[in-house]
Chains A and B, each alone.
Chain A
Amino acid sequence: MINKIVKSVAEAVKDIHDGATIMIGGFGEAGSPIELIHALIDQGAKNLTVVSNNTGSGNVGLAALIEQKRVKKMICSFPRTANSTVFPELYNAGEIELELVPQGTLAERIRAGGAGIPAFYTPASVNTPLADGKESRNFDGVEYVLERGIKADFSLVKCAQADCYGNLTYHATARNFGPIMCTAAKTAIVQTKKVVDAGDIDPEIVVTPGIFVKHIVEVTNPANESELVAQKLKYPW
């Protein structure tokens, strides 16, 4: 019997180990799996490498994980966001590493990692400092830079609906990095707003097929990061 549903966010993240590479979904607050991140803060794993488009805002979610000094390195495209002060302070103090990646390159590196492609050529970042030290090659008169696929030990993703097999649907622009991050991690951990019965999601509209997902946990009323930030809340509460 396959049943990927676990009872709590704590159970979902219990195997995350020190030094793990973790992909965290979300573009700004849309799709950010705040409850899973908070469970990871409680769980205690440290020395993490986090792959995520941004670095969180305020003192909750990803920003709180960074503030707790649990992240040694961020791989992201846009570490500055409105209300984002935690990362800039630690970065300027030399306490956190940054690998800055163009957003499309970040997405493709994750996609490639999940698809068994170790590296690929892209035109993005050619002739810029972000191509420094990377192999380049000319195809049909155009210059491209070699980029490596990224794999992760774990992914933390938020979705709208999930069944016991791990089939997922998403909501609006909260989809963003979720589907590709599920493919690129050994263990994809997903918080869903709703667990539904197998068969309730029409196979035609499944976005992430269950094979890419390890654990599902239902979080029926996920917090909105912007509301927590507006209330100046800080995690741990």
Chain B
Amino acid sequence: MVENKIKIGWGKTEMAQKVAQDIPDGSYVNLGIGMPEMVADFVPEGRELIYQTENGLLGMGAVPEAGKEDPELINAGKKPVTTIPGASFFHHADSFTMIRGGHIDVCVLGAMQISKDGDLANWSTGAANAIPAVGGAMDLVAGVKRILVITQHNTKDGSSKIVNQCSYPLTGKGVVETIYTNLAIIDVKKEGLKVREMGPNVDFEYLQERTEVQLFQ
């Protein structure tokens, strides 16, 4: 039996595409681990972005061919990468001089929760038995000019990741510029969360039902 399923919202590649479209030519970009890494695959024709990875590489290239991996040439997710012509290596203090010092234009991160004021929680659930691990996220949100978040709109149990107030420990307060979910693109404005675009077969009512925060159009 074949069920006729209507596609609701965007898939991951379409979400990554939407983020990529909002990054201007010539930007220095840091991509978080996981879904943010996909953004690099969808840079629009005619744009050149330079990727920084906080473990010490500016000018990160594509994944190497099988058999050509170098265990000492990796990204922040500890996966093998390559260098582009014109790349540079540097130590960690210089890397975070780029990040904290405001030299990186755009950072794309994942999220556990985002608040109506653009607070981001993406490093710990705060659970007693969880091993807390923060990496470079707090430095990135403190220093990078634009913080874009790419995430599923709801958790696996259906609850809203966009919340009035984060219940998880914060990564940074008031840091998120735009949220890209499978259902919508939402800009964080002074007056609240403004829906810029909705995915296929998503209307405002459907979106609002799945969002804890009152949205506006």
From B2-10, B11-19, B51-59, the one touching the partner chain is: B51-59
Q: Which of B121-137 contact A (CB under 8 A)?
A: 126, 129, 131-137
Q: Is A211 an interface residue (CB 8 A)?
A: no
A80 to chain B: which residues have CB within 8 Å? 131, 133
Query: How many residues of chain B have a CB within 8 Å of chain A?
Result: 39
Interface string of B144-182 (1 = CB under 8 A from A): 000000000000000000000000011111000000000
Residues A174 and B135 in contact, CB atoms below 8 Å apart: no
Q: Is A50 an interface residue (CB 8 A)?
A: no
- Count of A-B contacts judged by CB separation below 8 Å: 147
A175-B74 contact, Cβ under 8 Å, with A107-B96, A122-B100: no
B70 to chain A: which residues have CB within 8 Å? 172
Query: How many residues of chain A have a CB within 8 Å of chain B?
Result: 53
Q: Is A235 an interface residue (CB 8 A)?
A: no
Query: Whole-angstrom distance from the CB of A199 to the nearest CB of chain B?
Result: 23
A104-B100 contact, Cβ under 8 Å, with A124-B138, A130-B134, A172-B73: yes
Residues A173 and B55 in contact, CB atoms below 8 Å apart: yes
Q: Is the interface of B mostly helix, strand, loop or mixed?
A: loop
From B42-50, B85-93, B106-114, B209-217, the one touching the partner chain is: B85-93
B73 to chain A: which residues have CB within 8 Å? 30, 172-173
Nearest-neighbor residue (CB-CB) of A127 within chain B = B173
Using CB atoms and an 8 Å cutoff, list the residues of chain B in contact with chain A.
53-57, 70-74, 78, 83, 89-93, 95-96, 99-100, 126, 129, 131-139, 142-143, 169-173
